[in-house]
Structure 1
Amino acid sequence: MPSTPTVLTGRSLVEGSAQGLLLFADVGLSFWGGVDPFSGEVIDRHHPLSGENLTGRVLALPSGRGSCTGSSVMMEAISNGHAPAALVLAEADEILTLGVRVAQVIFERSLPVLCIGKEAFAALRGQAFARVEEDRLSLFEGSPEDGWQAREVAAPVRPATTGIALSEHDRNLLDGQYGKAAQVAMQIVLQMAELQGAPALLDVTQAHIDGCIYTGPASLRFAEQLVQWGAQVRVPTTLNSISVDQRRWRELGVDAALGEPASALGTAYMAMGAQLSYTCAPYLLDSAPKAGEQIVWAESNAVVYANSVLGARTQKYPDYLDICIALTGRAPLTGCHLAERRKAQLQIEVPALQGLDDAFYPLLGYHIGMLCGSRIPLVRGLERSQPSLDDLKAFGAAFATTSAAPLFHIAGVTPEALDPAQVAGASLPVERIEPSDLLVSWHELNSARTPSVDVISLGNPHFSLSEFAHLARLCQGRRRHPSVVVAITCGRAVLEQARSAGHLEPIEAFGATLITDTCWCMVGEPVIPPAARTLMTNSGKYAHYAPGLVGRSVHFASLAECVDSACSAHASGRLPAWLPQEAIAHV
């Protein structure tokens, strides 16, 4: 006789019912760079589920993490039949939930999303089979033979707005007086506001759109549908990196099967009135927001930089919610838009280290992100180090890769933590980092097991003008090894600034390739030669994602080490002076 199932209840984020084998992990997962939407395989090679297939299974995660493009990957997987049967979360995740909501609107396909809380989530470990029915989760030791059938998914309904204060303008948008695109956009904004418990909406001054990244046919269909509905942005809007260099993808040998739709996707967003910026580092543009400015930015590293370094206010907005807010000019009044929600929830103590180089900050950000989960940290111990803006950019990008938090504070450094008492309560939990902890993360990012180097990857996030200046000094009078590809991604605006400043001449003489519009998270073959086996990068973000995205192992090191290895075609394997030297490097 079958045993009685364990039944848990939670909060239904997306209604529906489904069942399947349970796929459980106690570590958050970024769908972008972590899941192949065309096969359902988990491709994040640092994740405990690496190699598993989530198609048709009930996926249980504490939360999402990492890239805002996870919503696009989720929608893509739903549209082509490689999504989970259901998603069970310990904490509500807006990025993955939004992907499901948009799939409902565009493809009339969906899957249930259920949030059950941290305590109940722990009970899922070791369970074999799960069934989701609205707000109920039933756990079984094996597949039940009771003839149960999932019900048909209903079309999404107009969101309930009784708990949200709407202006007359909001109601006009919702009633379709400004066209179908604005109406659907407002419906999605209000669905997310309802999910977040926002009491009202707020005006935003600008937007940065991450949804222009091509994840497959579904991402292009969504944008072109908005264009057909007459979509026009209502606030100044910049575009993130797209998936190809729009001017040179043919010259770079990119297959037309990617180049044409990826370029068309960028064009579709420009047809909605967005600016041709194509950068994952919009904080490097003249239009960067000021402290206290209410904005809607997607792209995880940009969100973290805007909140933490600039002091602007934005949530970590999912792809597609970003354009919906840009089309309405209105965002849910919640999260980091509110001063009280920007306080630190965890204190991190960093050891005093000597001889720091530029590899320290991305490694530290990567490590701290893993400690934080979704909690906002206050980092202590860097007051005398005076990290540069480039250091903070690298720290934030790596932090955003392993964390779900939209903000960090560094005592005495970032604007809201110049006086740490302004962001920290008296009883914050404390995590202390030891140099040996950083060594573990160093080896995690250094996945290559041979010293050879085939490709040097620079510009994730996009290179800044000061990074170009630094690289020009390192390259002066030198030449890359003929077997090594050196490629740098950057925005068009910064490229022209670097050219005017004279930084490009020694870099081009060195033999580097300069690529605009796209970023390393989207670059593949043939920019990465098919025969290449190992990459080297100074980006903690790309060192994490590359093994899954392009199937190559990685050496992670400082910019100076990258240039040296470009000349020798070998990684030295030297540990930085600030790491424990008694350990033997793995190369």
Structure 2
Amino acid sequence: MGPYVASVFEGTGHVRGKASGTLIASGLELSFWGGVNSETGEVIDRHHDLSGHRLQDTVLAIPSGRGSCSGSGVMLEILLNNKGPKAILLERQDDILTLGVMVAEEIFGKTIPVVTMKPNDFRAILGMKGKTIYIDSDRVSDEAFHDTHGDHTQEPTKSYFIDGMQLSDFDKELLQGLHGEASCTAIHIILRTAGLLGATELMNVTQVHVDGCIYTGPGSLLFAEKLRDWGGKVRVPTTLNSISIDQNRWREQGVDNSFGEAATKLAKAYTDMGATPTFTCAPYQLKTAPRQGEQVAWAESNAVVYANSVLGARTMKYPDFLDICVALTGRAPKSGPHLDVNRLASLILRADLPDVDTIDDSFYPILGYKVGSLAANRIPVIVGLQALAPSRDDLKAFGAAFATVSSAPMFHMLGVTPEATSLSAVVDEARQIPSVDIKMEHLVEPWQRLNSASEQQSVDLVSLGNPHFSFKEMKKLAHLCEGRTKAQEITVIVTCGRSSYGLASQAGVVEVLENFGVKFMTDTCWCMITEPIVPTTANAIMTNSAKYAHYGPGLTGRKFFLGSLMQCVEAACRGSYSKKMPQWLLNTDG
């Protein structure tokens, strides 16, 4: 037997450096928000094959991230508290995770290598689980490097990626610090991201939606307060995503004082910089929602997908922290879905329609979850749904589920979404585009996966509003509750934005729902809600949100039932759920 020959791979180091650690690896994308505990570094996505693994001192290999824009915030926190990996190896470039490392490096001087590998090399790495892996700049090996492979010291960030960039006079002023330290730091981060994306110039945007106001830990607060204290002020209209607490009610809800106060300080840092306290994960419900073709910079995965797909506005999937940098400068990388060529579909999905008469509102989140799983990082166009005429709320539910398991920034729905007027309008006909049939029996597996609770478990909490409930959804819920009595032991909570809550209050809908026993929470959303609002019991949570049914088991330690809004009301009245497949699934051969 001959001597062992080390495997050496050449990749692209987006954040350069040297590191080594035991390899943990998966061929499945991972969302750090909702998928990794920011305090412990444990993978908590209970639908992922790395569930239960801890990232500390490992080399993590995954194809890319997926899901939430807040993954950059979780990445920052685990690096600052030394619970993160020693390096990350990717098959596909990931802006969100890489940005989290860049911010840790730029602001706090903490960094790890991030390397994107060629597909064949990445697959080879997957076969090395459990081995010690070494990273040196662009190189990856299962044996330590003994040569001096150049100087791997990080280049000064003030000149990073500026070569080859077409800078406007205003960009140069920002870089020179003529508009203050906060905007100077912000433009450095933007230019590093532009280099990562291959953009050669920056562009103006008309508005920003900031997701970084979610409290992921002390790092997120330090980052925002530094920018605020350096004189940061937003240059374009800026809305804020859901925060981690109901700002007006958190004390009476029993939220821990230290957490509530930290989350309050974080929200204040952003409003001090001039952002509007909208505190909603559904900014498309606001009067300020952008129009088709408008160039904006939105973060929050469901909001990005909705803006691009349903509104026809143009935004990248902005990572947390990059969002406020764009708001402070009004400048964004001219890349991604801002450009026509990057909005084309690269996957055709042909849906075999259910009987329109049997469909209920649980169809759209389950279909969105399946489509997102099939699409991965590709923009799909779904053919065959035009006759169903999905509503804006149906598309919201579809898009949120899609964004949970896909890293793609948008989808098209032929004859439904504004850009998909024809198949030729959203695909490059010169390219060979793969086509996949989706039959209704293909939706049985995602329905079963998202219904993680057993039939023997009772329900003690009905969770509604992930993403935030619209005014129309509250009216629909009020109609379904009419003449019914909620079981005394069941808690029903609706989360919504302040704007929608105000409309529902004026229309008397809030009063009707409160008489039924519904509780309302504004400002926050289910992915941020923990104990004591979600009590620790052995009972299940009932929801109509595929997004929460996916993230919830890891976030709460509870099992979930997923059903229609009507089934949620029935569970609230009975205190149980029969876990019966919807009629449109029972009619399949699956």
Given the two structures, how large is their TM-score scaled by the length of structure 2?
0.96
What are the Cα deviations for residues 450-506 of structure 1, in whole angstroms up to 9, with x where unaligned? 341111000000000110010000111222211111101000010010111221122
SS at structure 1 position matched to 2:88? strand
Question: Contact conserved, 2:209 with 2:241, CA < 8 A, in 1?
Answer: yes
SS at structure 2 position matched to 1:513? strand
Kindly state the Cα deviation for residue 576 of structure 1 after the two structures are TM-superposed.
Answer: 0.6
Question: Contact conserved, 1:477 with 1:506, CA < 8 A, in 2?
Answer: no
SS at structure 2 position matched to 1:362? helix
What are the Cα deviations for residues 151-174 of structure 1, in whole angstroms up to 9, with x where unaligned? 996475221312111100000001
Kindly state the Cα deviation for residue 2 of structure 1 after the two structures are TM-superposed.
Answer: 6.7
Q: Which amino acid aligns with 2:438?
A: I
- 2:387 and 2:422 mapped to 1: Cα distance? 14
User: Is 1:129 paired with 2:137?
Assistant: no
For 1:398, the equivalent position in structure 2 comes to 401
What are the Cα deviations for residues 125-183 of structure 1, in whole angstroms up to 9, with x where unaligned? 2202211110001025xxx6989999996475221312111100000001100000000
Question: Contact conserved, 1:456 with 1:537, CA < 8 A, in 2?
Answer: yes
For 1:447, the equivalent position in structure 2 comes to 452
For 1:264, the equivalent position in structure 2 comes to 265
SS at structure 2 position matched to 1:462? strand
For 1:376, the equivalent position in structure 2 comes to 379
For 2:529, the equivalent position in structure 1 comes to 523
User: Is 1:26 paired with 2:31?
Assistant: no
Q: Cα 1:329–1:380, aligned 2, differ >3 Å: closer, same or farther?
A: same
Question: Contact conserved, 1:451 with 1:573, CA < 8 A, in 2?
Answer: no
For 1:339, the equivalent position in structure 2 comes to 340
- 2:392 and 2:232 mapped to 1: Cα distance? 36
Q: Cα 1:373–1:298, aligned 2, differ >3 Å: closer, same or farther?
A: same
Match of 2:427 among 402, 409, 424: 424
Q: Which amino acid aligns with 1:281?
A: A
User: Is 1:469 paired with 2:481?
Assistant: no
Matches within 5 A, 1:90-105: 90-105=91-106
Q: Cα 1:4–1:452, aligned 2, differ >3 Å: closer, same or farther?
A: same
For 1:540, the equivalent position in structure 2 comes to 546
Match of 1:481 among 478, 482, 487: 487
What are the Cα deviations for residues 251-294 of structure 1, in whole angstroms up to 9, with x where unaligned? 11111121100111001100000001000000000000000000
Q: Which amino acid aligns with 1:394?
A: A
What are the Cα deviations for residues 17-75 of structure 1, in whole angstroms up to 9, with x where unaligned? 10111111001000000001211110000001001111111100101000000000000
SS at structure 2 position matched to 1:87? strand
Question: Contact conserved, 1:206 with 1:236, CA < 8 A, in 2?
Answer: yes
Q: Which amino acid aligns with 1:112?
A: P
- 1:580 and 1:139 mapped to 2: Cα distance? 50
- 1:90 and 1:53 mapped to 2: Cα distance? 21
Kindly state the Cα deviation for residue 583 of structure 1 after the two structures are TM-superposed.
Answer: 8.5
Q: Which amino acid aligns with 1:459?
A: G
- 1:54 and 1:146 mapped to 2: Cα distance? 26
Question: Contact conserved, 1:69 with 1:210, CA < 8 A, in 2?
Answer: yes
Question: Contact conserved, 1:11 with 1:115, CA < 8 A, in 2?
Answer: yes
Kindly state the Cα deviation for residue 431 of structure 1 after the two structures are TM-superposed.
Answer: 1.4
For 1:56, the equivalent position in structure 2 comes to 57
For 1:330, the equivalent position in structure 2 comes to 331
- 2:260 and 2:436 mapped to 1: Cα distance? 46
Q: Cα 1:198–1:476, aligned 2, differ >3 Å: closer, same or farther?
A: same
Match of 2:413 among 396, 410, 413: 410
SS at structure 2 position matched to 1:521? helix
Question: Contact conserved, 2:351 with 2:385, CA < 8 A, in 1?
Answer: yes
SS at structure 1 position matched to 2:561? strand
For 1:296, the equivalent position in structure 2 comes to 297
| Larger deviation, residues 399-408 vs 571-580 | 571-580
- 2:118 and 2:372 mapped to 1: Cα distance? 21
- Please list every run of 5 or more consecutive structure 2 residues that lacks an aligned counterpart in the other structure: none
Match of 2:573 among 552, 564, 567: 567
For 1:221, the equivalent position in structure 2 comes to 222
- 1:166 and 1:100 mapped to 2: Cα distance? 25
SS at structure 2 position matched to 1:18? strand
For 1:365, the equivalent position in structure 2 comes to 368
- 2:181 and 2:118 mapped to 1: Cα distance? 37
Q: Cα 1:575–1:55, aligned 2, differ >3 Å: closer, same or farther?
A: same
What are the Cα deviations for residues 327-385 of structure 1, in whole angstroms up to 9, with x where unaligned? 01000001100011100000011111011110000101111101111100000110101
Question: Contact conserved, 2:440 with 2:588, CA < 8 A, in 1?
Answer: no
Question: Contact conserved, 1:16 with 1:151, CA < 8 A, in 2?
Answer: no
Question: Identity over aligned residues, as a percent?
Answer: 51
Q: Cα 1:126–1:409, aligned 2, differ >3 Å: closer, same or farther?
A: same
- 1:94 and 1:438 mapped to 2: Cα distance? 30
SS at structure 1 position matched to 2:459? coil
RMSD over aligned Cα atoms = 1.8
For 2:180, the equivalent position in structure 1 comes to 179
User: Is 1:389 paired with 2:366?
Assistant: no
Kindly state the Cα deviation for residue 434 of structure 1 after the two structures are TM-superposed.
Answer: 2.1
What are the Cα deviations for residues 279-327 of structure 1, in whole angstroms up to 9, with x where unaligned? 0000000000000000000000000000000000000000000000110
Question: Contact conserved, 2:305 with 2:410, CA < 8 A, in 1?
Answer: yes
User: Is 1:157 paired with 2:163?
Assistant: no
For 2:13, the equivalent position in structure 1 comes to 12
For 1:437, the equivalent position in structure 2 comes to 442
- 1:472 and 1:99 mapped to 2: Cα distance? 42
SS at structure 1 position matched to 2:578? coil
- Please list every run of 5 or more consecutive structure 1 residues that lacks an aligned counterpart in the other structure: none
For 1:166, the equivalent position in structure 2 comes to 167
For 1:320, the equivalent position in structure 2 comes to 321
Q: Which amino acid aligns with 1:406?
A: P
SS at structure 1 position matched to 2:8? strand
Given the two structures, how large is their TM-score scaled by the length of structure 1?
0.96
Question: Contact conserved, 2:457 with 2:539, CA < 8 A, in 1?
Answer: no
Q: Cα 1:165–1:151, aligned 2, differ >3 Å: closer, same or farther?
A: closer
Question: Contact conserved, 1:19 with 1:150, CA < 8 A, in 2?
Answer: no
- 2:65 and 2:588 mapped to 1: Cα distance? 36
User: Is 1:212 paired with 2:213?
Assistant: yes
